[in-house]
Structure formats: C-alpha cells, structure tokens
Structure 1
Amino acid sequence: MKDCCVCLANDSRYKCPICKQNYCSAACCKAHKTVGCEPSRVENVEDVEPQKIVKYDFPTEDTVPLEKLQLLRYSDDVKECLNNPHVRDIIRGILHHSDPTSAIASAMTEPIFVELADACLKVVEPPDDEKPC
C-alpha cells in the first residue's frame, strides 16, 4: 500500500480524483481538500490504465466515436454542470429508470439538464463555425 499524503499512514486505500495522491480516511480526504490540489501533469506508469479496446456492437450513423466521448472528461462546461447536485440526481434517476428514453425526455424539460446536454454536444459535435475546415 502507499502512504497517505496527509498523515503518512501506510494504509491509504483511496486516491484523490484530481491530483491522484493517496489518502487513508474521510478525515484525511477533507484535510487534503482544504489544501487544494491540481491535476498531476506527470502520471506514474502504474497509474495509467492500459487502453481497453472498446467497440460498439451496433454502431449507427449517429454513434459518437469513443475518442470524442473521452473528451467530455476535459470539458470545463461539463464539469461545471456536474457540480450541481440536482443534475447528478437527474442522471441517477435516468440510470435507474425502467424506461431511460422517457426519463431523458422528462429530464430535457429541466433547464439545468438541457445546459448539461448542450455542453456535451458542444464537445462531441462542435457548431459549424467551430468545426475545422
């Protein structure tokens, strides 16, 4: 196991999603957040997951390439929308709904969810004036 970045205990089981430093408890996590952290620029070889080859079983003309979907994690607009607990609740509701299609239709009546959808679309399908020639 790795040492906790706060108390230096040798049983850190958790990793900060932002800077990837290890910590051992909720108390150490809170202490770490008060200091503030930034995404690490250099990743350790052991922290990098091997690229999994993922392919769509039934791609269509509307299927978004996986490379574009992966760009969503770097969008500040998407991250800002996901900071809203109401948006996260809506997403959880969609994931656990027996009819996700109707749940998404219902979610699209919420302006905050439409804002998230627009932010995602801006990443995977930029407007015509932002598309490369």
Structure 2
Amino acid sequence: MSGQPPVDKRPVVLAVDDNQDNLELLTQILDLLGCECVGAVDGYAAISAAVDRHPDLIVLDICLPDIDGMEVVKRVQENPDIRHIPIVAVTALAKAEDRARILQAGCVEYLSKPFNIKDLETVIRQHLNSSQKLLIEF
C-alpha cells in the first residue's frame, strides 16, 4: 500500500474533432494522462456534451462540418453554466492571424496541427493542475 488516497475522480476532457483518426488519437493521449475523454465529432454535439457533462477542459478543432469551433466558443461563453470551462484550440489553421483571432474569441490556448504530444500534455496539465491530478508523467 502506498498510503495515498484513492483517486476520486478523473478530470473530464471534451475532445472535439470531425476527423475520427484525430479524435481517436486525442482520446488515447487523454486516457494516458489519466483523463476521462468525452468525444464529439461536430459543433452541436460538442455544445450538447459540454452542457450534459460539464467537462474540466475542452480540446476543440476549429474546422467543423456544422458550426465551426469559433461558434462553439461563442455559445459556450454565452451559457452561464459552462462559460468557465477553458477551451484549447487544436486546429489546422496555422497563420498568425488565425491564432490571434482564435485566442481573442476566448480560447485559452492554441496548438496547430500536427501538434507535438508533449506540447498538448503541457497545455492540458496547465489547465487541469489546480484542482485535478493527472495520473502519470510522459
């Protein structure tokens, strides 16, 4: 026995990407980090999942098939029950003006695809570190 209390709750992260391979990769990374991953493949599903699950963090693709990630950010911010959830953009939009626009819209971080797994880990840990403990180190 290590004497450590059992982990009560894994942090919940909503991963949103319309590409199934990207979503699966995010799910695997989040699982390795000790997070519970909730997946969504479009903007409407993302908003619904955020309202239903109140995740600790949202990892959001900006280019989505129905409403884009910018609209998802706007709708999350307009909802008083979920507007406190930090949103990290992970997107193929890689120009400096895209980054500025995405951060100005309300995302707390921005990573361009293809992202470095270590960078994603750092961002996730940064935004979950105060009240949540991730289970392993890479």
Query: Normalised by the size of structure 2, how large is the TM-score?
Result: 0.22
Which entry has the higher C-alpha Rg, 1 or 2?
1
Structure with more contact order per residue of length (Cα contacts < 8 Å, sep ≥ 6): 2
The structure with more helix, counted as a fraction of residues: 1
Which has the larger share of strand? 2
